[in-house]
Amino acid sequence: MKVLVISDTHGNIENAKMILERIMPLGVDTVLHCGDYISDARILGKQYPNITVYGVYGNCDVGFGGEYSTVVTLEGVSIYMSHGHRYGVKWGDYDEVFIDAMAHEARVAVCGHSHEAYLDKKQGILIMNPGSLTLPRDSQYPSYGILELSEGKIVDAKIMQIHDGNIIKEHPVSSIFGRK
């Protein structure tokens, strides 16, 4: 199973729709939206009824309702989701996200908020921030994450960027995470 991980769309889902159109034929049928705006996650769910969309609210989602964090299990892998605005992720500190993932017995933690991609593995827990699909702060290129899960295992995790002309390339942060 391949999962699209996005965050910080801030009312602009054009890149999300373009990516979905490209990767749904490759087996992606689930989206994890890490907040800002949770309403974008709901719109994607309505526009793409054949995919499952999970979302959490972020600091810009006041009045939209929803959960600040949640745990979903996909292919036997538990995933802790949060926007990240209650943690230090904006300053590159993912320790509290890691602690909450451990407390929820999750094997993966996904969050957003910083608009900067992050991918690492700590004590067996994969931590992913896909960056922003609309307002990236770590480069000029919007980014998103892909998780590949199978039978209780994390097969692969990477962060991709949308370059000029809608050319997709792997984000430099992806090289930090050892493959398989």
Q: What is the pLDDT of residues 8-67, one digit of tens each?
A: 999 999 999 999 999 999 999 999 999 998 899 999 999 999 999 999 998 888 777 778
Greatest alpha-carbon pair distance for the chain in Å reads: 42
Give yes or no for residue 180 having a pLDDT over 50: no
Query: 28 lies in which domain range?
Result: 2-176
Identify the pLDDT of residue 178.
55
> How many helices and strands in the chain, by DSSP H and E?
3, 11
Domain count for the chain: 1
Predicted confidence (pLDDT) per residue in 118-166, tens digit: 999 999 999 999 999 999 999 999 999 999 999 999 999 999 999 998 9
Tokens representing residue 48 in the block: 């793409």
Sign (positive/negative) of CA torsion 112, 176, 71, 152? positive
Rounded to 5°, angle at Cα 132 from 34 and 162: 130
**Mapping DSSP to helix (H, G, I), strand (E, B) and coil, where does residue 164 land?**
helix
Please state the pTM of the whole predicted model: 0.94
> What's residue 176's pLDDT?
64
Q: How many CA atoms lie within 13 A of 112 on its CB side?
A: 35
Rg for the chain (alpha carbons), in Å?
14
pLDDT, tens only, 82-121: 998 888 878 888 989 999 999 999 999 999 999 999 999 9
CATH code of the domain in which 15 resides: 3.60.21.10
